Chain A
Amino acid sequence: MDQKLILVVCGAGINTSTMAGEFISEEISKRKLKNVKVKTVLVNDLPRYKGQKDMAIVYMTKVDTDMGVPSFQGMNFLIGTRETKLELFDKILESLGVEQQG
């Protein structure tokens, strides 16, 4: 099984990315997606992940670097209703080619 990574990028690492990361990791464990991992990083650390495959990026702040992987504006994880949060999460999984049962 390929390991997939969801990278949540934020400006300060204090609050926003943790909120989004928490929602994503909860959903991952709820759906028992064993090969999907979520990680929160700071904008400044983003270049380290350049070139990595099987990765999707969730931006919690505006970022100028093009990472060449599927990217999503993650603000809905903070301000959305439960419905829109799940919708965004499904889109991210789809871009990673993660298959879900049921």
Chain B
Amino acid sequence: MGEIYSTIVAGVDWFVALGPSVMIAIVLTVLGTAFGAGFSKSLRGGIITGVGLAGLFLVVDLIVEALLPAINAMAENFNLQLRLVDVGWADAGIAWGWPGVAGVMLGIIAVNIIMVLLKLTKTLWTDVWSYWHGQVCGAFVWVVTGSVTLGIIAAIIYLVIGSLFSDITAKRYQEYNDMPGIGVPCGPTVLASVFAIPVSAALNKIPGINKLNASPESIKERFGVFGEVSVMGAIIGLLIGLLAGYGIAGALVLSMQVAAIMLILPRMVSIIAEGLIPITMKVAEFVRERFKDRELHVGVDCAVLLGHSSVMASALILFPLSILLAAALPGNGMLPIASLALIPFLAGAVVPFTRGNVIHTVIIVLLLLIPYLYAATNMSPVHTETYAQLGMFTEEIEGGARFASWDMGGDPISWIINQIFRLFS
């Protein structure tokens, strides 16, 4: 028994040591072929996702190399506590690169089908890409407990919570966005919506605040080109460079580097997602055919909620405000830069519940970001250790870099699950 076990452990270790890019390419090729997406399509998908991960890590290298020293210098100049590197969606690299990745994919599909059969949920978990939030939650649990199995269980719990929250929120999404039949079980999205329901009701009762609103069109016009991600990144980089005492030339260089980080990181994420399409299509068609006759919510990506003009308008106001919030919040260690990319998604989740009220959306998201910032700071040691265990950024970590992010480092549900599973370690 012991021998078999140690062989398995050695096998898993060997596999993990290949690094996330190689591992996910193999996993997706095997799973895709098993799901009937065809070998060549699955191989192509696996390689594309591996490429996306490789690209993601290049961007993180840039973050650590360029942005980290600048933020440290700025923090020193102004006596701030912001010492953590915001790696943003680089956590997708953890998601698709940890040893439990295939277990979680198969596990949540099975658990979801059972839950739908037992009528415990109306949500079909068909959006394979969005499993990544659960995957990271699981990887963090793996790191604190040392058990891949516990990590997989934690990931599935996270994803099940997503489907239950989606049951609550789906009707409003459908009605407000004219999309019958959909649901969005993606963790950060549904949490923001469930948070928005009571807070929005409370805001509507406070005299003065209940009447506040702003026209999304005029906000977008006023921001103009400054609302573009690249331009905004350049401005943020320039300001940080100047506050760090880099001088004009140094600040200009940093400005382009931060613009590059903010524009390229989400592009890399989209490459990762593209590689998952063959599997997603098969999973969606498979469960759809089986539950043709029931009225269910088919899980889709949270991007479907971004179209309303009040979403972008709220996000534009939130970008600078959330940076200020992070700087002002006592005990917070992370200055959000790469993580700002999450803001439109949070706004998109809240807008259906404020009925497009920009001011209310901004207030709700800012309140929600407080637990995000504290959880991100608190999870930073585990977060950093997770990258170390996957053999990523080892030099940077040895050099003292400590990582954080909102999505998933600061995800409140993941944080709670992690605290509970720590009891088992």
Give A contacts to B, CB under 8 Å.
9-19, 22-23, 43-44, 59-64, 73, 75, 78-82
Contact = CB atoms under 8 A, between A and B. Distances in A.
Chain B, interface size category, equals 35 or more
13 contacts: A11-B305, A12-B303, A14-B269, A14-B270, A16-B304, A18-B273, A60-B303, A64-B307, A75-B180, A75-B182, A75-B300, A75-B304, A78-B300
Among B129, B178, B181, B306, chain A packs the most CB atoms within 10 A around the CB of B306
A16 B303 contact: yes
A10 B292 CA distance: 26
B147 interface: no
Interface stretch (B64-72, B78-86, B280-288, B326-334): B280-288
A15 B307 contact: no
A12 B270 CA distance: 9
Interface in B125-153: 126-127, 129
Contacts, number: 98
Contact of B179 (A9, A17, A19, A62): A62
A45 to B, nearest CB: 11
A73 B288 contact: no
B348 A11 contact: yes
B188 to A, nearest CB: 13
Given A75-B181, A79-B126, A79-B298, A15 B303 contact: yes
B307 A18 contact: no
B246 to A, nearest CB: 31
B93 interface: no
B277 interface: yes
B308 interface: yes
A81 B292 contact: yes
A75 B303 contact: no
A15 B127 contact: yes
Contact of B307 (A14, A19, A61): A61
B305 to A, nearest CB: 7
A64 B176 CA distance: 12
Contacts of A16: 300-301, 303-304
Contacts of A15: 127, 129, 270, 273, 301, 303
Contacts of B235: none
Nearest to A46: B307
A44 B312 contact: yes
Contact of A18 (B126, B277, B309): B277
A10 B181 CA distance: 18
